[in-house]
Amino acid sequence: MLNVSIIIPTWNEQDRITDCLDNALRQTVMPHEVIVVDNRSTDNTVAIVQQYMQEHPEAPIRLLHQDEEQGLIPTRNYGLNHATGDVLGRVDADCMLKPDWVEVVAGIFTEDPEAMGATGPVTYYDMPARRMALRGDDSVRRHTYRADGGEVLLFGSNMALRASAWKLIANEVCLDKEDVMHEDIDVSLHLLGRGLKTVYSERMICGISARRMDTSFKSFRNYMKRFKNTFEAHPQHWRSHKSERTLYLMYPWLHALFPVYQQYLKAKDINPAVRMWFREQVNLARREGDNLEDLPGIEEFINEVPTDIDGISEVNEDIPTDETDEDATKVANAEGTAAKGGAR
């Protein structure tokens, strides 16, 4: 089976990088390497990663520094260019990978030699109704997040490239000095422009933060304009559906609920990034022979269901604490209902 590198571009991510690394390393198949590429962070991001490496000397972590230029794209490119795996996973520093993410990604590219890029659905770990959000996101990406009559577009928070494919387009991808494009869609269109295959898997699941929705509408609108700007930079490519329309519909609900839910998490002293896949990780540890006796109260933690937040019952009367493998296999069967629920 092919091995997988994970590349994490970072800039001032001291609050999330430890959780991100924990999830990247608590995998059913260990990644070939986890590369953290720091881009002139002014907080404690670098020190935290260095300490993590000292405390986990067996972990395949590499800390790189991209100091020549400020920006996501040069930092991303630096990480991808220095990775040594067969497959290059690219996620954000606030992403929480599902415990079987590496195994799923390795399987996608091993089983399909023509696959050059892959992506999957995401859900918000710091919002309620995560199962509904996962189903809604799956429906959007399955049906509308496409180009050129149905070709899959990759999502930067949850994507992977075959190393050989990246080498083909590494010197072609747009540098976007004005910072007005979606860099992940740009990568997708460069792959498609070379006739390379991109694929979608509902099993390639990642948790992301909803913090983008906690910005002003003006900022959110400018972010949505990046879709149009990216396709205008690639006039040979086209799309039938505008995914940003669904995001516009979701914005008012998520923007209003996000700060309320953060207050709840703070009051309950809950780290949502830790809780995201914790039940699955606990079960995995137990299967490997660790009974976790040194973690008192773990049963209450992994089973806690938030029920006392104003407005939650209007979103979903049965809010789960995580998504199981069985839920993931049911995603396709719930697409119609999910699209309506996710767009509230």
Q: Where residue 289 falls among pLDDT bands split at 50, 70, 90? A: confident
Examine residue 78 and state whether it is found in any structural domain, yes or no: yes
pLDDT-derived band of residue 302, with 50, 70 and 90 as boundaries?
low
Evaluate if residue 105 carries a pLDDT over 70: yes
Query: pLDDT over 70 for what percent of the chain?
Result: 84
DSSP β-bridge partners for residue 147? 151
pLDDT attached to residue 275: 86
Per-residue pLDDT at 296 exceeds 80: no
Residue 324 reports pLDDT greater than 50: no
Least confident of 248-252, 265-269, 314-318: 314-318
Domains in the chain: how many in total?
A: 1
Under 8 Å between Cβ of 9 and 64:
no
- Does residue 164 sit within a domain? yes
In terms of residue numbers, what domain contains 118? 4-283
User: Does residue 302 sit within a domain?
Assistant: no
Residue 243: pLDDT band by 50, 70, 90 thresholds? confident
pLDDT of res. 92:
97
Give mean pLDDT, residues 94-112: 97
Tokens of 207: 């948790």
pLDDT at 146: 96
DSSP-derived letter for residue 334 is G
The answer to whether residue 329 is domain-embedded is: no
Q: What is the predicted pLDDT for the residue at 158?
A: 98
- Structural domain includes residue 324: no
Both structure tokens of 260:
């309320």
Q: Is the pLDDT of residue 11 over 70?
A: yes
Name the average pLDDT for the chain: 87
- Does residue 159 form part of some domain? yes
Q: Please tell me the pTM assigned to this model.
A: 0.85
Q: How far is CA 43 from the centre of its chain?
A: 23
Measure the CA–CA gap between 271 and 302, rounded to whole angstroms.
12
Which sign, positive or negative, has the C-alpha torsion 234, 235, 240, 241? Answer: positive
pLDDT tens, position by position, 34-78: 999 999 999 999 999 999 999 999 999 999 999 999 999 999 999
pLDDT confidence of residue 53: 98
| Confidence at residue 280, expressed as pLDDT on a 0 to 100 scale | 87
Token pair of 140, please? 């959007």
How far, in Å, CA of 1 to CA of 286, rounded?
A: 25
Q: What percent of the chain has pLDDT over 90?
A: 72
pLDDT digits (tens, 9 = 90+) for 109-140: 999 999 999 999 999 999 988 888 899 999 98
Do the beta carbons of residue 82 and residue 35 sit within 8 Å? yes
Rounded to 10 deg, the angle between the 17-25 and 45-55 helix axes is 30
18-32 pLDDT, tens digit each: 999 999 999 999 999
CA-wise closest residue to 202 among 284, 145, 147, 247: 145
**In this structure, what CATH number is given to the domain that contains residue 259?**
3.90.550.10
Q: For residue 72, what are its two tokens?
A: 């996501």
pLDDT at 291: 65
Binned at pLDDT 50, 70 and 90, residue 218 comes out as very high
Question: Would residue 230 count as lying in a domain?
Answer: yes
